[in-house]
Amino acid sequence: MLKKFLPDEFFKDIFQIKPEDLKARGIRGVITDLDNTLVAWDCLIAPPEIIDWLSGMQEAGIHVTIVSNNNKLRVRAFSEPIQIPFIAKANKPLGNAFRRALKLMGTRKEETVVIGDQLLTDIFGGNRMGLHTILVIPVATSDAKITSFNRKLEAKIMARLKRRGLITWEE
């Protein structure tokens, strides 16, 4: 069960995830979390570097869908101005939003990655669905209340993964 929380890959931030690398591996779709993955949880608009990263993915022929547990108003306010499809109130780690994102992008599991900053929602949810998962360090040190609770649980899970030698990277 512990391995369901183990990401397939780890990067310090999304900017280390290059479209050409994904494309070379046959990846055609990216399901990404929003809050503390792309931007701080309280950031309402996409900064230029995020827009450039998303544009690079699209230019490489990689579909991107934002899948967030946050409310529709928040996710729409971020996503619509930059014309990125989104699924709000996703209830990650449950699988329905991941399945909806695959259908929306027209991609199969084996050609789609999940990128997120949380083990309990993004990584666990993606792993349960059989998707390739990528963990990134949260872009902000502060979190919404529910996420703060999750971070405490995640720290314990990470410690167990490290003790068992399953984590080979340094944060």
Q: State the pLDDT confidence band at 23, using cuts at 50, 70 and 90.
A: very high
Percentage of the chain lying above the pLDDT 70 cut: 94
3-state secondary structure of 152: helix
What pTM was estimated for this model as a whole? 0.91
* Distance, CA of 115 to CA of 48 (rounded, Å): 19
pLDDT of amino acid 143: 61
Q: State the pLDDT confidence band at 57, using cuts at 50, 70 and 90.
A: very high
Q: For the residues 53-77, what does the mean pLDDT come to?
A: 97
In terms of C-beta density within 10 A (0-12 exposed, 13-18 middle, 19 or more buried), how is residue 17 classed? buried
Residue 126 · residue 132 · CB < 8 Å = yes
Our measurement of the distance from residue 101's CA atom to the centroid of its chain's CA atoms, rounded to an integer in Å, reads 12
